Structure 1
Amino acid sequence: MRKKPARSDPPAPPRVWEYRLPGGFRVMAGKTDADNDRLSLKVAGANDWWFHVRGMPGSHVVLVIEKDRPPDRETLNRAAAIAAYHSKARTGGVVAVSGTLACHVTKPRGAKPGSVQIRKERIFKVRPAIPDTAA
């Protein structure tokens, strides 16, 4: 008699910091490497924007995009500033942040939690900041 495979519970949702930007945009930043993986690879929609500070540890940040409502340059810069804030570059001046659509974020086979590869990168130069109020 064959054993039934163990029933696996659905993965826990990522623990994130959430922010609201002008125009009603929502931004989420992962709290741990495992949360970053879930946020970037499971939660983010293909048309959401993904951000991470360049060259040092930090949270993966996702700007949630509603249908037919592309973000303007200021919204992208604000989301990039949140990524800079939730990184080791928080006390730096102007910080380089990578941004791309979430559909261009992948995880290499066997990579450590929190490690991803991106394509079609856009660089944002921003000062670390978070909005006045968290969601």
Structure 2
Amino acid sequence: MLESSRRGTIPSLADAIAGEELVGNWWSHASGKRIFAATRAVRDADDVLVCRLVDGKITFVHARLWPALARLADQFPPAHLARLHEVHGGNGAHRVAQVDYPDWLDDATRAAAQKIGEAGARDALAAVLALPA
């Protein structure tokens, strides 16, 4: 799922919360505060990879898809697979930090990736793989 800016068949969390397809910046939408709160909750979830998988846009990938992603990692630019996280400074400012792929993979995900076939991985990530390059 994308944080915002729906792409092809990949839904947008911001659109889902707003109940409509958003055009432009979601900050100015009536649901902007709810969208912000929800996107931050998802970004903080341990079982969600926050990366730039789809077109370099913030993308949320649930842990159940990590083995498929690892299996097909060579199909994506390495920078799009880096785990992103916000680091908050003492002055209230924040910055986005990253952990490069494959450094964020745990042993269980690595093992599962070795067991999944390419066809199964392609099926799991079909929506992403179907997007034009």
Tell me which protein shows more strand as a share of its residues. Answer: 1
Q: What TM bracket, shorter-length normalisation?
A: 0.3 to 0.5
Report the TM-score, using the length of structure 2 for normalisation: 0.36
Report the TM-score, using the length of structure 1 for normalisation: 0.35
Tell me which protein shows more helix as a share of its residues. Answer: 2
